Amino acid sequence: METTFDFLSKQAKSTPPSLIRAILKAMQDDEIISFAGGMPNPISFPEKELTDSMQRVVKDYGSKVFQYSITAGLPQLREYIAERYNKKYNLDINAENIIITTGSQQAVDLIAKVTIDKGDEVLIEKPGYLGAIQAFSQYQPNFNPVTLENDGINTKELKRVLQKKKIKLGYIVPNFQNPTGVSYSAKKRKELFELVQEHNFLLIEDDPYGELRFEGEALPYAAGGKTTNSILLGSFSKTITPGFRLGYMITKNDKLRLAVNTAKEAADLHSNIFAQYVIWDYLINNDFDAHIQKIRNLYQEQCSAMINAIKEFFPNGIEHTTPQGGMFLWVTLPQGMSSMKLFEEAIKRKVAFVPGDPFYVNERNVNALRLNYTNASPETIKIGIERLGALLKEVC
């Protein structure tokens, strides 16, 4: 028996559906070469080492790895994260500043849940990470997108926004941003830090790709780990395995951390403790940096293959970013061309990408698209880009 009663809350209705999932569903064809997903290359997963760790933690810790645990996460894993960040980024954090989450995506949602009231002013990049846009949308803020340039957010535009609006929360991806692949320069990071201090808003720096730098020099975070109005997010999904869904939140703001801890306890009690033990065991028994270097080498080869193919097959007048790491690059089409409409034609040519629309709050038929280069071989990349290039030459 059908009913006309609407059970959904206003909050649920305010959350936009995932266009990416709709796109992935539309391309259930083995012949399609996909640059649409944001997936690490499976050949980078340390399967043997993780298998060894699984066997070892069961043998060494027995029922502990199968029992309920504390919400903040395995203390030994949090201590490892703190030590690594202190050594690599010259921070001064400890295990108490860290909460293990079910992927960094859960951290984004939990932070939004405990900080955003309806109508609050939220700052995001333009274009911005669609997962953050979705998570924030549930809590009905006012979005303030600020243009992302080739070296980070446009700080002049940001200053104008901060003068007009009382921003409560800001969200950026400082390294190899999703969707553009852009990284923030040292100058932009310094300017952003000064603005965070001056206007006292909470800044989230989401850094799932920072370890994947294959060119250039790693830079300090803008505010992450330095101030109490900052949050730093990280993940093991891009460096070890996405299937374990383990990320983490770092903040020196005890009040905020306790609120997130309470929200997480209500959501899932704690993240998978068996996976936490396995990751920790893997980290202390293997050369993690050597493993990461293999991923960097792999992704640099794949990124170069895509850029070289773009230069060979794309028509003139089409621009692209040149990432120094991470998993994505951003293609800008001629003005007036819709990447959504192009996507429909591309599927017919057996090649897929993500149109630009879901990375914006209120813009449609955007003339840009995201390409992922990490989940295809250089040979497959060349074939896929050739197909896309042939289509672009026709429509241009």
What is the full per-residue pLDDT of the chain (396 aa) written as tens digits? 555 557 777 777 766 666 666 666 655 678 899 999 888 999 999 999 999 999 999 999 999 999 999 999 999 999 999 999 999 999 999 999 999 999 999 999 999 999 999 999 999 999 999 999 999 999 999 999 999 999 999 999 999 999 999 999 999 999 999 999 999 999 999 999 999 999 999 999 999 999 999 999 999 999 998 999 999 999 999 999 999 999 999 999 999 999 999 999 999 999 999 999 999 999 999 999 999 999 999 999 999 999 999 999 999 999 999 999 999 999 999 999 999 999 999 999 999 999 999 999 989 999 999 999 999 999 999 999 999 999 999 988
pLDDT at 396: 81
> CA–CA separation, 276 vs 238, rounded Å?
15
> CA–CA separation, 236 vs 103, rounded Å?
8
pLDDT at 23: 65
Spatial CB neighbours of 304, under 8 Å, sequence gap ≥ 6 = none
pLDDT at 340: 94
> CA–CA separation, 260 vs 312, rounded Å?
49
Burial degree of 127 (CB within 10 A; 0-12, 13-18, 19+): buried
- Encode the chain in three state secondary structure: CCCCCCCCCHHHHCCCCCHHHHHHHHCCCCCCEECCCCCCCHHHCCHHHHHHHHHHHHHHHHHHHHCCCCCCCCHHHHHHHHHHHHHHHCCCCCHHHEEEECHHHHHHHHHHHHHCCCCCEEEEEECCCHHHHHHHHCCCCEEEEEEEECCEECHHHHHHHHHHCCEEEEEECCCCCCCCCCCCCHHHHHHHHHHHHHHCCEEEEECCCHHHECCCCCCCCCCCCCCCCEEEEEECCCCCCCCCCCEEEECCCHHHHHHHHHHHHHHHCCCCHHHHHHHHHHHHHCCHHHHHHHHHHHHHHHHHHHHHHHHHHCCCCCEECCCCECCEEEEECCCCCCHHHHHHHHHHCCEECEECHHHCCCCCCCCEEEEECCCCCHHHHHHHHHHHHHHHHHHC
What topology is assigned to 10-45+290-395 in CATH?
Answer: Aspartate Aminotransferase, domain 1 (3.90.1150)
| Nearest in space to 317 (alpha carbons), one of 290, 341, 337 | 337
> CA–CA separation, 305 vs 374, rounded Å?
11
pLDDT at 250: 98
pLDDT at 111: 98
Task: Give the domain ranges of the chain.
Answer: 10-45+290-395, 67-285
| Nearest in space to 327 (alpha carbons), one of 355, 360, 302, 350 | 302
Q: Which amino acid is at 167?
A: I
**Full strand arrangement of the beta sheet holding 142-149:** 98-101, 247-250, 230-235, 202-206, 167-172, 121-126, 142-149, 152-153
| Nearest in space to 314 (alpha carbons), one of 388, 218, 251 | 388
| Nearest in space to 222 (alpha carbons), one of 236, 202, 249, 246 | 202
Length of the chain, please?
396
pTM of the model: 0.94
CA 20 to chain centre: 14
- Two tokens at 160? 């104008």
Classify domain 67-285 by CATH number: 3.40.640.10
> CA–CA separation, 195 vs 182, rounded Å?
20
